[in-house]
């Protein structure tokens, strides 16, 4: 039986777009095959660079760090919510997506496809739509512990120069309940039909609040015919 795979991850590279105020990404050769006999790269990046997972510790004082996340919480059957080009900086309401969330079962991973990943690396990407906090509450009520978005955040992205504390209500509710959030997904438009399984495993960074992931959708060949 064949297996279909879709890579939902952005490549990590020097100078890539990050959340305003986060550490910039720099990759450089620390050892070279020609002179040292082997290749080694030096990586400088934040824990939320590229496609990444937020652990509860990201926003919750006594929340779990990324190395304490059970692996079974990082994978599960996927429900992909496709949105019809929501306007920039709009707030997606529960009413807008409720029909696509019917019949949710505990352990389902819910991924929101807004199409904004096509703007990754541009100023427009900062103006992404966000989720209403009632969506986070609804997902938790139905046993969902992992949500993903193809944007910088499920909350609005704030100006890095603002003096007021950042407001992250979806993060507060979802991470506060022990949930996980994956941000900066891409290629969700390729995931048509049903039968998908989502996996995104973080690096085992001790005591850290998040980690880059390789996010993947998989589906057995037979499922594609159903």
Least confident window among 95-104, 157-166, 187-196: 157-166
Q: How many CB atoms lie under 10 A from the CB of residue 19?
A: 19
User: Which residues carry out catalysis?
Assistant: 58
Q: Residue 19 falls within a domain, yes or no?
A: no
Contact 129, 86 (CB under 8 A): yes
Global pTM reads: 0.95
Q: Residue 34 falls within a domain, yes or no?
A: no
Q: Is the pLDDT of residue 16 over 70?
A: yes
Q: Residue 95 falls within a domain, yes or no?
A: yes
Q: What is the pLDDT of residue 131?
A: 98
Angstrom distance (rounded) from CA 217 to CA 109: 11
Angstrom distance (rounded) from CA 157 to CA 167: 9
Mean pLDDT of the chain: 95
Q: Residue 51 falls within a domain, yes or no?
A: yes
CATH of residue 202: 3.50.30.50
Q: Is the pLDDT of residue 39 over 50?
A: yes
Q: Residue 29 falls within a domain, yes or no?
A: no
Q: Residue 77 falls within a domain, yes or no?
A: yes
Q: Residue 21 falls within a domain, yes or no?
A: no
Give the count of domains, the chain: 1
Q: What is the pLDDT of residue 134?
A: 98
Tokens representing residue 28 in the block: 């450089």
Give the tens place of pLDDT for each residue, 41-50: 999 999 999 9
Give the tens place of pLDDT for each residue, 133-145: 999 999 999 999 9
Rounded average pLDDT over 33-45: 98
Contacts of 76 (CB under 8 A, 6+ apart): 107, 108, 109, 146, 197, 198
Give the tens place of pLDDT for each residue, 57-85: 999 999 999 999 999 999 999 999 999 98
Q: Is the pLDDT of residue 86 over 90?
A: yes
Angstrom distance (rounded) from CA 201 to CA 212: 9
Range of the domain at 92: 3-9+47-225
Q: Is the pLDDT of residue 223 over 80?
A: no
Q: Residue 15 falls within a domain, yes or no?
A: no
Q: What is the pLDDT of residue 221?
A: 75
């Amino acid at each position: 039986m064949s297996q279909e795979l879709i890579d939902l991850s952005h490549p990590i590279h020097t100078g890539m777009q990050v959340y305003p105020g986060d550490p910039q990404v720099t990759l450089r050769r620390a050892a070279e095959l020609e002179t040292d006999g082997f290749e080694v790269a030096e990586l400088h990046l934040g824990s939320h660079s590229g496609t990444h997972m937020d652990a509860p510790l990201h926003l919750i004082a006594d929340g779990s760090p990324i190395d304490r996340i059970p692996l079974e919480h990082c994978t599960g059957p996927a429900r992909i919510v496709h949105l019809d080009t929501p306007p920039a900086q709009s707030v997606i309401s529960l009413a807008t997506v409720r029909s696509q969330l019917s019949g949710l079962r505990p352990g389902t991973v819910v991924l929101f496809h807004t199409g904004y990943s096509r703007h990754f690396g541009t100023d427009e990407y900062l103006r992404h739509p966000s989720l209403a906090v009632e969506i986070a509450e609804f997902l938790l009520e139905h046993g969902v512990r992992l949500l993903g978005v193809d944007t910088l955040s499920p909350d609005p992205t704030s100006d890095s120069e603002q003096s007021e504390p950042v407001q992250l209500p979806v993060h507060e509710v979802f991470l506060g309940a022990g949930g996980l959030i994956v941000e900066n997904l891409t290629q969700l438009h390729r995931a048509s039909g049903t039968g998908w399984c989502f996996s995104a495993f973080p690096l085992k960074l001790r005591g850290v609040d998040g980690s880059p992931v390789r996010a993947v959708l998989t589906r057995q060949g037979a499922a594609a015919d159903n």
